[in-house]
Amino acid sequence: MTPEEDAIRAGLVGAWRLLTWESIDDAGAVDHPMGPDAEGVVVYTPDGTMMTTLGRRGRMPITGDDMLAGPDAERLASFGSFIAYTARFRIEGGDVIHQVEMSLFPNWVGTAQRRHVQLAADGRSLILSSDPFLLRGRMSRQRLSWERIEGP
C-alpha cells in the first residue's frame, strides 16, 4: 500500500455514527432513503473487518416475541427499513472496498462494494460515497456522512 492508502486505512479504523444519508440522482435531486433522521453505525477494525447497520429511526416492532416469525407485512416493512452487512475491507487509491461476506440483502454477498472516502483532517468526520447504483428503482449515488464515536 502507498503511504496515502495507509493513512486512509488508519483513519477509518474505529466506530462511526451516521449523521446523514443522501441519495442523489443524475438530475441532482436528493432523497433520504431511510428518512432525514436515519440512524446507523459503521465499524472498521484493525484486522480488516467492517460491519454496518443502517435504519429508519422509529421502526415499528413486529408482533410477538419470535424474531423469526410475525405477520409477513410487518416483517417486510422491517426488512425495507434496515440494512446490515459485514465484509473484509481493503484500500485502493482513495477508495475503500468492502468485500461483502454477509448481508441482509443476500444479492451483495460475494460482491465488492466500492466507497469513495473523504476523511476530515482532524479524523472526526467521514464521508463515504458510491458510484451510481439501483436503489428504489432508480440509479443514484449514495452519500453517507459520519462522525467518529469517541470512547467512554
Q: With helix as H, strand as E and coil as C, how does 14-73 read?
A: EEEEEEEEEEEECCCCEECCCCCCCEEEEEECCCCEEEEEEECCCCCCCCCCCCCCCCHH
Predicted confidence (pLDDT) at residue 144 exceeds the cutoff of 90: yes
Q: What is the pLDDT of residues 9-33, one digit of tens each?
A: 999 999 999 999 999 998 999 999 9
Identify whether 19 is part of a domain.
no
Q: What is the pLDDT, as a whole number, of residue 57?
A: 96
- 44 part of a folded domain: yes
Average the pLDDT over 82-101 and give the result. Answer: 98
What is the domain range of residue 51? Answer: 3-14+32-59+66-122
Evaluate whether residue 39 is within a structural domain.
yes
Q: How confident is the model at residue 135 (pLDDT cuts 50, 70, 90)?
A: confident
Is the residue at 90 inside a domain? yes
Over residues 117-136, mean pLDDT: 94
* Stretch (H or E) spanning 6: helix 3-12
The enclosing domain of 76 has a CATH number of: 2.40.128
Mean pLDDT, range 122-128, rounded to an integer: 96
- CB neighbours (10 Å) of residue 42? 22
The answer to whether position 38 is within a domain reads yes
Specify if 89 maps to a domain: yes
pLDDT tier at 102 (50, 70, 90 boundaries)? Answer: very high
- Residues 86 and 54: their CA atoms lie apart, in Å, by 12
Examine residue 149 and state whether it is found in any structural domain, yes or no.
no
Query: What domain count does the chain have?
Result: 1
Is there a contact between 20 and 145 (Cβ–Cβ < 8 Å)?
Answer: yes
Give a yes or no: residue 143 inside a domain. no
What pTM, to 2 d.p., does this model score? 0.93
Q: What number is the average pLDDT over the span 34-62? A: 97
Please state, for a pLDDT cut of 70, what percent of the chain lies above it.
100
